[in-house]
Amino acid sequence: MGTKSKNKAVVLCTGGDGCTVCGFGCLGDGKCAEVCRFDAISINTFNVAEVDREKCRGCGLCVKACPQNIIDLVPAEDSYSPRCSNHDKGAEAKKICSSSCIACRICEKACPSGAIAVTDNCAVINHEKCISCGMCATVCPRGVIIDADGIMTAAKQMR
């Protein structure tokens, strides 16, 4: 059982094909990992920061340290997050990265509680409205919306 904290940090990038070219995503420079006092963040094999939810206590130091401003704190019980920060238009985002949000709005249409919306070309969850049903994750054609519990993501490349 994980630590009982209200929030968990989520990195809004999965690293696509291990590139850093989109300009929005994780740079893999490890600033977040450096500031984390609980050893909860590391740079993974895709050169992208990854949060260990068991260790994360939701303190938010990584959020402040991230030079790209792509780490979010979300309620611990909400396991779903769209993990992309690419604000380019769909076609461009698709071209440059295999796991980018292409602003197709399929998640928006499928969400039963009106909790997810594409804002500035990226899907964003309103956690006040989210009921953690996972519908967005199962319908996302890009595997961008990830279930931290690893069950519901329809990804070709689940991470």
Partner 1 sequence: MDREYIITVNGKVTKTTEDKPLLRYLRDDLHIHSAKDGCSEGACGTCTVVVDGKAVKACVITTKLADGRNVITTEGLSDFEKEAFVYAFGAKGSVQCGFCIPGMVMAGKALLDKNPDPNEQEIKTALKGNYCRCTGYKKIIEGIQLTATILRGDAEIDYDLEKGDEFGVGKRAFRVDVREKVLGYGEYPDDVEMPDMLLASAVRSKYPRARILDIDCSAALALDGVIDVLTAEDVPNNKVGHIQQDWDVFIARGASTRSVGDAICLVVAENAAALAKAKKLVKISYEELEPVRSIKDAMAEGAPLVHSGGNLCQSRHVTRGDAAAALKNSAYKVTETFKTPFTEHAFLEPECAVAFPYKDGVKVLSTDQGAYDTRKEIAIMFGWDPERIIVENKLIGGGFGGKEDVSVQHLAALAANKLQRTVKVKLTRQESINFHPKRHAMEGTFTLGCDESGIFTGLDCDIYFDTGAYASLCGPVLERACTHSVGPYCYQNTDIRGYGYYTNNPPAGAFRGFGVCQSEFALESIINILAEKVGISPWEIRYRNAIEPGKVLPNGQIADRSTALKETLEAVKDVYEANRDHAGIACALKNAGVGVGLPDKGRCRLEVHNGIVELYAAASDIGQGSTTVLIQDCAELTGLPLSKIHNMGSNTETAPDSGTTSGSRQTLLTGEAVRGASAQLKEDMDKAGGDLSKLDGQEYFYEYFEPTDKLGADLPNPKSHIAYGYATHVVILDDEGRVAEVYAAHDSGKVVNPISIQGQIEGGVLMGLGYALTEDFPLKDCVPQAGFGTLGLMRADQIPSIHAIYVEKNKLLDVAYGAKGIGEIATIPTAPAAQGAYYARDHKLRPTLPMKDTYYSK
Stretch that binds partner 1, among 32-40, 42-50, 58-66, 133-141 (CB under 8 A): 133-141
Residue of 89, 95, 151, 156 that binds partner 1 (CB under 8 A): 151
Q: Which of 144, 4, 72, 93 is CA-nearest to residue 152?
A: 144
Residue of 132, 140, 145, 146 that binds partner 1 (CB under 8 A): 132
- Spatial neighbors of 119 by CB under 8 A, at least 6 apart, are none
CB 24 within 8 A of CB 70: yes
Task: Give the CA distances from residue 6 to residues 20, 56, 130, 134, in Å, rounded to whole numbers and listed in that order.
Answer: 31, 10, 15, 20
Q: Which is nearer to partner 1, 41 or 135 (CB)?
A: 135
Q: Which of residues 104-123 bind partner 1 (CB under 8 A)?
A: 110-114
Q: Which residues bind partner 1 (CB under 8 A)?
A: 1, 77, 79, 110-114, 131-135, 138, 149, 151-154
